[in-house]
Every structure is written in structure tokens, then in C-alpha cells.
Structure 1
Amino acid sequence: MQGQRFKACQQALHFKHFTRRGYALFSCIGREVLICTLSVATLTYAKAEGMSTKPATATALTDSLGQGEVRLDEVTVTSSRAPLTALQSAKIVSVISRDDIQRAEAASVNDLLKLATGVDVRQRGGFGVQTDISINGGTFDQITILLNGVNISSPQTGHNAADFPVSLSDIERIEVLEGASARVFGSSAFNGAINIVTRSDSNSNLRLSAEGGSFGTFGGDFGLTVKTNNLSQKLSGGYTQSDGGTQNSDFKRRRAYYMGNYTSRYADLMWQGGVSSQDYGASTFYSAKFNNQWEATRRIIASVQADVKPLGNDNLVFTPQLYWHRDVDHYQLTRGKEGASNGENYHRMDVYGASLNAHATWLLGKTALGFDLRKEHIMSTAYGDLLPENKWADIHGTDRRYNHRGDRTNTSLFVEHNVILGGFTLSAGMLANRNTALDGDFRFYPGVDISYRPNDMWKFYASWNKALRVPTYTDLYTSNSAQQGDISLRPEKNSTFKIGTRFRTYGVEAVVSGFYSKGTDIIDWVYTTEERGKYHAMNIGKLDNMGYSADATLNLNELLPGSLLTRFKVGYAYIYQKHDTERPVYGSLYALEYLRHKFTAQLDHRIFSRLSASWAVRWQERMNNYSPYTKVDVKLQWTAPTYTLYVKADNLTCHRYYDLGAVKQPGLWIMAGGSIKIGL
């Protein structure tokens, strides 16, 4: 096969085999084939790149729009603590690929997640400035957010969870795991997990990009990759500002990110650090009674981890990890008014963590053992226990001082075993968790995942997992004229059952799944009297979420060779809730305002030459007196080997809608921009 070459993506890795589909060989004709097997796991341990084919001509596009994809079923893309291949995995993970990111009319990670069928994105400001992300009818505090497998979720609040130090240009893919996942990611993965995997370019290069458009929006971005032998380093940064499109929704965003990788036969090392900073008008974000709120957040992250292979292969691997992140939050209930009496607060949240995972492959399968020790420390003007005055700490840039403090330590122990027999996979494990904010006892959260593959086209799977979530510091201590926390809140608990099937053949892929999540002591912010007044944090009792989803993708360039149409994707999700409580609830702010219906459709097609278009339609209906709405987005893109130009329109029909409370979303938002990539 002319032009074929084998590329070792990591040391001591080996080629397995092509998919056994009858058409696989023909997919390679006339193409350069890059073949690799990456032995790392999806989500917590996810860095698998998969395999794709691209034209071998000098005019090849920088993405794979319109190009068929050849997959290796032996690529390791799993959601367990012991790496399993995509063929063996007992779970199906939804993946937003690099091609999806390039096609989409998206300004942020949050915009991309809106197209994931099981994900609910409630946007307050443009460009994802303040966004709540939840999965399968849960709340924004019930998911774990990871960056290259490192947990960056904040125990202060999930409101700022999507404040990432990376841009869309840095991201290789986004992986979404639905359902309780405590035995894989710890107790914070109450209702699912989202992992963002950054790109690792094959060559040294410099990338520059800029864009501008409606509402005084403009920004720029850069990325620098340097590769020498076994060492790869990447530095990126960017800035965006805008008037916001609505009253008091202006913002300024800054970010910087650095990542390094070193590979050898006996160890692969990865380290990363990032800073994100944003200042924004918060309109009626947290209370409709105050329409001139303001907030500034700063986030610093740092981590280092390694895959140590004492035998020089993947039969025994130790993965140690150290991480730290700091979240600084400055909030004003009324913009410009200072002092605690006016609703101004400062918070500084530090999370320190150390973990070790080990997995071994032996006669009876794959076994993984691990632990994670996580220290959570907050200094605040409102959250935590009141300190004696001699222990107050100065707040940089102000005459106020931190006078409250909170500390808690979370210890997690993991065990898992995986059995693979032919087309059958059984993955079972348990989390033992101890949190000093509770009674100090260990609690146990088991889980079982099963899959069966009768042939290469079909896969059936089922799972049951338990989880627990400790209240955030916001849940416990908030006290202002609009909201009241409760330090007596009990932790949330749930059991999630999930079943589904995947069908895949030439040009067609479909996934259908159903779930039942049985929750107790669920935490929500609610009105406790008919007179309403303040929202109160409360354990609202039992809350069961039931639903199903269906996704189908047609790779039209495979089904209709030569057609201008390249891909059509459609998805639908339905959720039904059953709430049982002994305490009256007169209005919900989060948990009971779930999406009953969500429908998405995406169409990608070429227009001529290098010009292509991507259309996205989203219709959804939210409970609790929200009006259903339809949103249409489009992106026109000219793609060349070294540069890209685009024009994109968000909310093409200029429909004004509400995702949360009284926060009205902007109308038509048009942006134009481009990027250039220079080899070094």
C-alpha cells in the first residue's frame, strides 16, 4: 500500500489490527495511513488519539472535514481505572472530537457542550463567562470537571467550574461520561464527569488567531509548540472582551496555559499550569432583585503526573499525580458598592491533592488499585467558621481582611477488577471515601459495568453505580439579602442505573440509552414559604430522574461519495422527575428546573473548494414555567493547510430566550476571524 507508514506514538506500543469490517481495506486506498495505539484511558487517564486517514497530497485540509475515518478497535479509550480498549470497554463515552470543535459555531467549551444530548448548559453570560453545566437532570454541583485527567472542580461552588485556562484551539477533544462515577473519579462525580483533553501537535509550530464582531467583541489567541526528541512543550494565551449584548453583561477575559510531556521506555511524564482571569457585569445572575451585580474570578492550576512502567511495558503501570488549584472570587451584589453590608464578598479557595493509581494485567484480567488525598481550604469574608481577630488575613488590593476559614480533607481509596472473555466485559469496583466534614467514617460506593459485543456492529451495555456529594461552601454558608445557606445540610446520595446499545456500520453510527437515578437528600435552592423572599439551601428529599436519549450520525461523505454533504447528526433526550419531600417547596432555582425535552441537529457540507458550512439547531423545553425555544447557529469556514478564515452567527433567528431566572440572552451575535499556523 503506497504511502503507508507506521508511527510509534509512545514507547513500547504495538500495532494490533484494523477493524474487521469488510470495507476497512478499501478505506485505505490512495491514502496515507497513520497507525498508532495509545495505552492510556479515557477521562481520568485519557489521552488516546485514535487513528484517522488523511489525503497524502500537499493540499490536504488541516482538519478531516469530508474525509472518512478508519478506527482501530484496539485503541485504548475507556472510562475505568484500568485501561481497556474501545472494543473491550464496558461503557460508552460521548466524545466531542477535534473535527467537531473546528466545525462548530462555538465561542467556548460551554457552547460545544450544548450540542451533547445528555448535557444541560444554563448560560448567564456570553462566551461562557458564567455557565452552569449539568448531566441527566442533575445540578451544576453534581459533576466533576477534569483537565487532562486532573480534577479542577471547586468545592466553593460549581458556578465557576467552566472557567478554563484553555481555549478551543488548545483542545483535542471533550469526553462526557453520564451517570454516577464515584468509583472512578471520587465522590464529586455524583452525576457524571467531563474531561477536556488538550492537543499535542506532531511538529513545532506557532499559531496566531484573532476575531471580532457584535456588541464590541474582539479578542486574540496564540499557541506555541516546541518538540525536541522525546520532549514536547506547549504555551498558549488569549484575551477577549465584549459589551456582552445585554445590560450590565460586559466582560474581559484573560488566560494562559503551559503543558509539557516527556516520554521514555520506562516513564511518561506530563505537567501543566494555567491561569484564567475574568471580570464581568453579572446583571441579574444570582437574584432578579438586583440587576447590577458584578464579579471577578481568578483561577490558577498546576499539576504533574507520570506513567511509570517498571517492566518497560504496560503490564504493570504506576500513575502518581500531584495537583493544586486556587480560585479567587470577588463578588459585589451592587456593582461599585463595597463592604459586607452591601453584599460584597471575597473568597480564596485552595485545593491540594496527591494520588496514586496502579494497574496490572495478569491471567485473570486487569486489576487497578489507587488512592486520592485531597485537602480543601477556604479563606473568606463570609464562608467557613469565624476566626479570632488575630488570625485574620489581609486581602490583596483592598483594606478588607479574610475573617472566615474552612478546612476539610477528602480521602478516597479505589479498587477495580476487569474481566474480558471474548465479546463480554465485566468491570466492577468500589470507592471507600472519608471526608472530615462529615463524621470521619469511611463510606463505600460500589459500581458494576457490563458490556456484550456479539459482533463488530453491535454493543450492549448496562451499569449500576452509587455516589455521594458533600455540600459546597456556598451551600453551607451563603447569607445575603437574596440567599441563605444551611450549615446543617446533609450530603446527597444516589444510585444510577443505565442501559443502552450502540450500532456502528459503514457511514452510520447510533447510540440509544436509558437511565434511572434514585437520589436522596438532594440539595437545592428553594423558596420555603409562599411569600418567597430568600432562596434557602435545603435537602429537598427524594428526587428520581428517569430518561432516555438517542443519537444518530450519518457520515454522508461515505454513504454518498462525491456529495457536497459530509455529515448529519441528530439527537434527542427526554427526562422525567419524581419528587417526594416532607418539607414544602414553593419554588426551585436548580434541581427542579430540569430539561424535559432536548433536540439537536447538525449538518455539515461543502459549498465549493475549501469553503464549508456547519449548521446547528437546538430545541429544548425546561420545566418550572420556562418557555421552550429554538436556536439556530451557522458557521462558514475557508480551510487551507496553514490558515483558516470563518464567519459565524450565533442565534441566527435573533430569538431572545432565558436559560436561567431573569437573565435574558442576547439576540443575533456575529463574529468573524481567522488563524494562521506557521511551522518552526
Structure 2
Amino acid sequence: MKYLFLLGTAMTVATPAMADDAAGEGLDPIVVTATREPTPVTQIGQSVSVITRDDIERTQATTAIDVLARLPGVAVSPSGGFGQPASVFIRGADNAQTLVLIDGVPVNDPGDVGGGFNYGALTVGQFDRVEVVRGASGVLWGSRAIGGVINFITARPTDQWTGRAQAEYGWRDRRQVSGSAMGMLGPVGLTLGGQWMKGDGYSAFDERLGGTEKDGFESKAAHGRAQVELVEGLTADVGGYWTKANYDYDNTGADALNVGLKRDALGYANVRYSGLDNRLNARLGYGLTDTRRISDDAVFGPYETNGRVERVEGQVSFAPVEMASILIGAETEKQKFDDNYGSKDSTSIDSIYGNLTLRPLAGLTLNGGLRYDDNSDFGHKTTFAANGAWVIGEGDEAPVLRASYGEGFKAPSLYQLYTNAGFRALDPETSKGWDVSVEQPFAAGTGRFTVTYFDRKTKNLIDYDLANWNYYNVGRARAQGLELGMQVVNWQGFDVNLAYTYLDAKDRDSGARLARRPRSSFYASLDKSWDLGLKLGADLRVGGGRYDDTANTAYLDGHAIVGVRGSYSVTQNVEVYGRVENLFDEHYEVVRTYGTPGRAAYAGIRVKI
């Protein structure tokens, strides 16, 4: 009853009246991730969410989990505090079925169990933007994009030097400092930044169950980018990102003196050409990702994994006429993996892909694409995708219809095949999914309401067999559901965000629900700003109950978390802020026996130049 009351109150408070102001910025942003080319959202047939720097600062988000938990169709599952394993499920897809990018470079880890990404130690202070594509995106992005794509993007250089810095302190001695600067140094555009965070943390073993030992952490991150125009139309850019997190953890249903390390490093270089009045664009790129994980158990000693991925890719897009364009690309990728128990192996995949875009009518955009993958261990596979977006009519309140279909193919990870728990008889995962949505702008374009239905069927989903201590293929799985979203941007000083997801994710052979996927989730936020520089806001996050195991024997109840925040602009360039998370000190778990933070308060200062 408490959850229903809070949910109903939030919806009542957050529903805005119609507006008479001009349309706010950000409701039709330019997105790169969905099509690999800069494209307005109204021309994209897939479901896309864009989190800007303003959104990150307004909500005072600190980690990737903070940002992603606010989106429709996305469920997060952290196993303890910062630094410790955290999974993200997009529309019920496994964590390893989502491709994660930093500045467009894949950072999924071959040393991860499924070749996925651990979000537990990723902060967001160094990023300027996050783009999330929900639904199969494998034709353009490859085999790890069955569930979707998440792209964390750093700021780009500007003509004039700008910079920002932030410092924060709060609950259990958590301190963080971050800063970045960007501008021109002669003909070279530069972006530089970094972040540091350290805190005492809380017990990964649930403190309400008796955990007393705090599991602290320290995180460091740095990024840089340089770009230069070689001749007219021809540019080159190089960049990199590095992060390292040290953390304590528990893994046995009790306090333990375990320590861990997670280090990610990536580098990239691109040569880009744009000509024929921007109708011809080409890119040749190289990317390198190197990861290291150490889990040092106080009893059994350390387990270390190392992963490395090298990619070379080329891409050309050409628009011979205004109503049609074609994108063609090719890439080759080699993965390597080893651990300190003697496991060592590698694999490679070569791919070509193409996408045709047609605009036969005003407001109508159609896309169709094919991809051919040749995996050195599992042979070749061709996948297909198609989507369309139709803006019906003109004006700020013209509705948008979207529909998409996509196929997926994902080979078993090197970890699943070659570690001491591996099983080499695994088959690749395959999927077919579709969705359809309606977006209705309102309030003179400052708001939009979206309803989306999605359905995805997966064969040979890979899971872990606790009885036989190895991996196996689940015959068939299906995830279907409904997403509701509402966003209002700067309507008379108000910002509103609502996101609701209903998810039915099951093993179709056994009928059991897939583990750690809540059946329903809801997020609501309301922020108000005044001309004097004061901003106040609140949010509500409701997570539905979920099973913690594949046999559906361990059920975790739902939860409702309320947060409040405020900020004040002391000057045009200086802002102070503060927030209280989990205001009512709700006790809950999203992974059985693992703790979640109680009531916590933080305060900080931001400076912009």
C-alpha cells in the first residue's frame, strides 16, 4: 500500500498543465549511437534515451548506475556498494547482451563472465552525454548488442576554452573531485579531464542482516582527446580513457576481508573525411581496450583476469539524393583472455554491414540493414534489421510513430569457454525482437509522452549450472513488456521525468522468470528552478519484486526510494548543491544478502568558466 500511495502521489504531483512557452531544447536532440551517423531523434525508428550534462547535474548523479536506473526499460542490479559487480538489464536482456561504448569504442570485457561490462565502478562526472538505444542493434554494432547499446560520451573541444570543476562530500566520508577543460591550442582541439572518489562505503553483506565491516573504495579516472583538421574536409582525432577502482567486498553471506581491483583502459584514433556538401562521409578507425580484474579472496587468494580487444573499422556513408542514403562498413576484431589459473585463449570476428535509409515522404524515415559476421570459432551468421519513424503532420505537437525489428547473434565468451568453469559445447545465442511505439508531444513541444510495446525471443541463452559447475544453454527465453515515458523540459521552470516498465521475462521451457529482472519498475522526478538561482527537486524510484535465482526459489520484495535535492547559484559561475538519498531509510535488497545504501546526505560545489 505504501508503494501504491507513493506512486500515485508522484504521478499526481508530476503531471504538468499545458504550456504556452516556446519548445524547450533537448526534445529532438541529435543522436549518433542509433545510426552511427548524427541523426535527429524524430528520424530514428528505435527507442532512444539521451542523458545530457544538464540532466546529470540536475539530478546530482554520481555513477553510471544512478543515471541508468532512471530510464524506462532498464533495470540495475548492484551486488553491494561502489566498485562491486553491477549488472544492467535492458528489456530483460542479460547484462552481457548489451554493448557498452565509451566515445564510440566498445569496452565490453573478454574477462567478464559473459563478455559483458561491470558498471559497478563507472562514475559519470567525466562524461558530457549518455545515449541509450533499447532493442537489438547488432546489424550496426555487432554481436554483443542483442539487448541494446549504451554510449558514454566525453565533451568535445570548443572554439573558446571552457572548463568545469566539482567537489562533493557526504555520507560515510565519501569525497569526490572532478574537473575538465576543453578548447583550442593553435589548430588542435583538446579535451582533458579527470575524477577521483573515495569513501568508507557500507558492508556488501547486508548490514540489516548483521554486516558490520564497511567495504570502502577508491576510484580514479582520466580522459583526453585531441583533434585537428589536416586539410579542408579531412580531420584526425586521437583519445583515451583510463579508470582504476580499488574496493573491499563480501561474497559469502557474511563479512569478509576480501579486496578487489578493476582497471579499464582504452585508446582510439580516427581519420575522418567529409565532402560533397556533407553528403559523403568516411571514417577509418582503430580502437584498443585493455582490462584487468583482481578478486583477492582472504581465504582462497587472488583470482586475476586480463582481457584485450583490438578493432580496426572503416565506414562510408553517401547520400546521392536528399531522400536516400547508404551506409557501408567493415570491421575486424580480435579478443584475448587469460587468468592466473592457466586459462588463455583468443578469438576473432570479421564483419561487414550495410544500411539503407529512405525518406519517401515528408516526415517518414525508413531503414533496412544487413550484417555478415564470420566468427573464428562459431562460423558465419547473417542478421537483418529494419525500422521506421513517421512524424504525422507538422508543428510542435505532431505525433511520432516508430517500429523496429532486429535479429541478434552472440557467441559464447572466452571466459565461458575456457576457464575452469567453462564448457566448450556451448552454442551461440540468437534472438529476434521487435517493438512499436507512439510518441505524443504536448505543451507546445516542451513535453512528450511515449508508449512502447516490445517483444524479444532468444534461443540458446547461456546460463550457469550451479549443480554441475559449468555453463549451459537455456533452450528458449522470451522478454516482452510495456514502457511508458513522459518528459517535460523547462516548462515555466519545471522539469519532469516519468518512466514505467512492465516486463515479462521468462525461460520458455521451464516457465520460470529470469533472475533479477523485476516485473515492474517506476521512476518519477520533479524539479523546479527560479530566476534567483534556486533549484529544488525530488524523485521516487519504485522497484518491483524479483527472483534472485533461476529456479525461482529466492524472492526479493520490491522497494520504494525517495530522494530530495536542491542547489543555489551563488554567482553565474559558482553553484552549491546538496541532496538526501533514500530519505525514509528504506531497507531493501536487489541481490540476495547484499546490502544497499541507507539514508545518505551529500553536499558539493560546482564551478564553471
What TM-score bracket applies, with the shorter chain setting the length? 0.7 to 0.9
Q: 2:519 corresponds to which residue?
A: 596
Q: 1:314 corresponds to which residue?
A: 278
Deviation string, structure 1 residues 506-565 (Cα, Å, up to 9, x no partner): 13211110110001111123444xxxxx7642212200111010001234x53xx4xxx5
Which residues of 2 match residues 404-419 of structure 1 at below 5 A?
A: 404-419=343-358
Q: 1:75 to 1:112 in 2, by over 3 A?
A: closer
Q: 1:272 to 1:622 in 2, by over 3 A?
A: farther
Instruction: Give distance in 1, aligned partners of 2:27 and 2:605.
Output: 33
Q: 1:212 corresponds to which residue?
A: 169
Instruction: Give distance in 2, aligned partners of 1:78 and 1:150.
Output: 11
Asked if the contact 1:430–1:445 (Cα under 8 Å) also holds between the matched residues in 2, the reply is yes
Q: 1:230 to 1:602 in 2, by over 3 A?
A: farther
* DSSP-derived class of the 1:99 partner: helix
User: Aligned letter for 1:367?
Assistant: I
* DSSP-derived class of the 2:96 partner: helix
Q: 1:437 to 1:294 in 2, by over 3 A?
A: farther
Q: 1:594 to 1:634 in 2, by over 3 A?
A: same
| Residue of structure 2 aligned with 1:381, choices 340, 343, 347 | 340
Asked if the contact 2:77–2:516 (Cα under 8 Å) also holds between the matched residues in 1, the reply is no
Asked if the contact 2:245–2:263 (Cα under 8 Å) also holds between the matched residues in 1, the reply is yes
Q: 2:505 corresponds to which residue?
A: 577
Segment drifting more, 540-549 vs 451-460? 451-460
Q: 2:599 corresponds to which residue?
A: 668
Q: Is the aligned partner of 1:543 residue 2:466?
A: no
Asked if the contact 2:228–2:235 (Cα under 8 Å) also holds between the matched residues in 1, the reply is yes
* DSSP-derived class of the 1:522 partner: strand
- Shift of the alpha carbon at 1:460? 0.7
**Aligned-residue RMSD, C-alpha:** 2.6
Deviation string, structure 1 residues 201-251 (Cα, Å, up to 9, x no partner): 633134332211111211222223232465321211222111112235211
User: Aligned letter for 2:432?
Assistant: S
Q: 1:459 to 1:210 in 2, by over 3 A?
A: same
Q: RCO greater where, 1 or 2, for CA within 8 Å and sep 6 or more?
A: 2
Asked if the contact 2:83–2:246 (Cα under 8 Å) also holds between the matched residues in 1, the reply is no
Which residues of 2 match residues 209-248 of structure 1 at below 5 A?
A: 209-228=166-185, 230-246=187-203, 247-248=213-214
Q: 1:435 corresponds to which residue?
A: 375
- Shift of the alpha carbon at 1:292? 4.1
- Shift of the alpha carbon at 1:171? 2.2
Specify which structure has the higher proportion of strand: 2
Q: 2:52 corresponds to which residue?
A: 97
Instruction: Give distance in 2, aligned partners of 1:370 and 1:325.
Output: 21
Asked if the contact 1:163–1:276 (Cα under 8 Å) also holds between the matched residues in 2, the reply is no
Q: 2:267 corresponds to which residue?
A: 302
Instruction: Give distance in 2, aligned partners of 1:72 and 1:631.
Output: 27
* DSSP-derived class of the 1:497 partner: strand
Which residues of 2 match residues 512-661 of structure 1 at below 5 A?
A: 512-528=451-467, 536-555=470-489, 557-558=490-491, 561=492, 566-581=494-509, 591-606=514-529, 609-624=532-547, 625-639=555-569, 640-661=571-592
* DSSP-derived class of the 2:125 partner: helix
Q: 1:504 to 1:210 in 2, by over 3 A?
A: same
Instruction: Give distance in 2, aligned partners of 1:596 and 1:487.
Output: 33
Which residues of 2 match residues 258-277 of structure 1 at below 5 A?
A: 258-263=224-229, 265-277=232-244
Instruction: Give distance in 1, aligned partners of 2:494 and 2:375.
Output: 50
Instruction: Give distance in 1, aligned partners of 2:167 and 2:127.
Output: 17
- Shift of the alpha carbon at 1:124? 2.3
- Shift of the alpha carbon at 1:312? 4.8
- Shift of the alpha carbon at 1:186? 0.5
Instruction: Give distance in 2, aligned partners of 1:76 and 1:521.
Output: 32
Asked if the contact 2:580–2:599 (Cα under 8 Å) also holds between the matched residues in 1, the reply is yes
Deviation string, structure 1 residues 129-153 (Cα, Å, up to 9, x no partner): 5321120011111100011211111
Structure 1 residues without counterparts, runs of 5 or longer? 1-22, 28-67, 383-402, 529-533
Q: 1:449 to 1:322 in 2, by over 3 A?
A: same
Which residues of 2 match residues 439-454 of structure 1 at below 5 A?
A: 441-454=379-392
Q: Output the TM-score relative to the length of structure 2.
A: 0.86
Q: Output the TM-score relative to the length of structure 1.
A: 0.78
Asked if the contact 2:464–2:472 (Cα under 8 Å) also holds between the matched residues in 1, the reply is yes
Asked if the contact 2:354–2:370 (Cα under 8 Å) also holds between the matched residues in 1, the reply is yes
Deviation string, structure 1 residues 56-87 (Cα, Å, up to 9, x no partner): xxxxxxxxxxxx62469695657224554434
Q: Is the aligned partner of 1:475 residue 2:392?
A: no
Asked if the contact 1:105–1:634 (Cα under 8 Å) also holds between the matched residues in 2, the reply is no
Segment drifting more, 245-254 vs 498-507? 245-254
Q: 1:598 to 1:526 in 2, by over 3 A?
A: farther
Structure 2 residues without counterparts, runs of 5 or longer? 1-18, 204-212, 548-554
Alignment size in residue pairs: 563
Instruction: Give distance in 2, aligned partners of 1:115 and 1:644.
Output: 24
Instruction: Give distance in 1, aligned partners of 2:523 and 2:469.
Output: 33
Instruction: Give distance in 1, aligned partners of 2:337 and 2:26.
Output: 46
Asked if the contact 2:292–2:304 (Cα under 8 Å) also holds between the matched residues in 1, the reply is yes
Q: For the pair shown, which has the larger CA radius of gyration, 1 or 2?
A: 1
User: Aligned letter for 2:309?
Assistant: V
Instruction: Give distance in 1, aligned partners of 2:38 and 2:261.
Output: 40
| Identical-pair percentage | 20
Q: 1:579 to 1:71 in 2, by over 3 A?
A: closer
Deviation string, structure 1 residues 364-397 (Cα, Å, up to 9, x no partner): 6111110111110122223xxxxxxxxxxxxxxx
* DSSP-derived class of the 1:550 partner: strand
Asked if the contact 1:248–1:292 (Cα under 8 Å) also holds between the matched residues in 2, the reply is no
- Shift of the alpha carbon at 1:675? 2.2
Q: 2:432 corresponds to which residue?
A: 495
Deviation string, structure 1 residues 301-355 (Cα, Å, up to 9, x no partner): 100123212x3532111111100011011112x23x4xxxx25222221111100
* DSSP-derived class of the 2:415 partner: helix
| Residue of structure 2 aligned with 1:155, choices 110, 127, 133 | 110
- Shift of the alpha carbon at 1:430? 0.9
User: Aligned letter for 1:550?
Assistant: L
Q: 1:175 corresponds to which residue?
A: 131
